Amino acid sequence: MGSAPERIQKVLARAGVASRRAVEEMVAEGRITVNGQPARLGQRVDPDHDSVAVDGALVGLRADLVYYLLNKPPGAVTTASDPQGRPTVVQMVPEEPRVFPVGRLDADSEGLLLLTNDGELTHRLTHPSFGVDKEYLAHVEGRPSRGALRRLREGVELDDGAARAMAVSLLEPSVVRIVVHEGRNRLVRRMCEAVGHPVLRLVRTRIGPLADRSLAPGEWRELSQTEVRALERTGTATDSEFGGDGT
């Protein structure tokens, strides 16, 4: 059996969107929709079946939804199980409720990875019609020239089409900060190799609004409600892509 319908202001207040009074004001302003239609004051919604959006961003309402931010160490694979017996990211977070990684990082890459059981959010963050910044620090061979950085910014031709970085900067002689929207397989590695600087180490440092320098490799934490809401607002349609791993 699902949960009983409750007044929308109570459901959204519990989800951390705003206070009940503030939710009532947002409903009156037409900022909230239920199943695609403008919400009504006092309207009841079923968290298990109704889709509620605030300013166009869907809000996860179920009480059993969890969101983990993991600092993936090198060597771990972004799957639920591995026939080769390698450690998986799913083994590094609580076993229940069962969660899945949003996108992926290849085994050699490391850094931030989101895991959740929120299928709606996962879909929005991985579907090609949505775009979320993913920032990496790439330790590369050699010292990239200004020309190489410009090529990354303007676009390089890969075997599956052109790709470009949204932002590129040289932090140290062999450390490149690179931001991408797309999620093609091993994208950052292939882009750097295309300009003559193969990646020696790749660390994802940010996923949209999510960043945390305090997490040690293999450590995880739950997202705050504020961070979840920020992710939901980030997952709005753009002309860019987010999915896969980009690594």
Residues recognised as catalytic: 106
Q: Residue 165: which of 142, 121, 141, 197 has the closest Cα?
A: 197
The answer to whether residues 163 and 184 touch, using CB atoms and an 8 Å cutoff, is yes
CA distances in angstroms from 176 to 12, 143, 193, listed in the order given: 41, 9, 13
Length of the chain: 247
- Cβ-proximal residues to 231 (8 Å cutoff; 6+ apart), any chain: 67, 114, 121, 125, 208, 209, 210, 223
Which phi and psi (to 5°) does residue 124 adopt?
-70, -35
Q: How many angstroms from the chain centroid is the CA of residue 12?
A: 22
**Strand residue runs (E) in 155-211:** 156-158, 161-163, 167-172, 175-180, 199-207
Name the DSSP class of 4.
Answer: P
User: 14 burial class (0-12, 13-18, 19+ CB within 10 angstroms)?
Assistant: middle
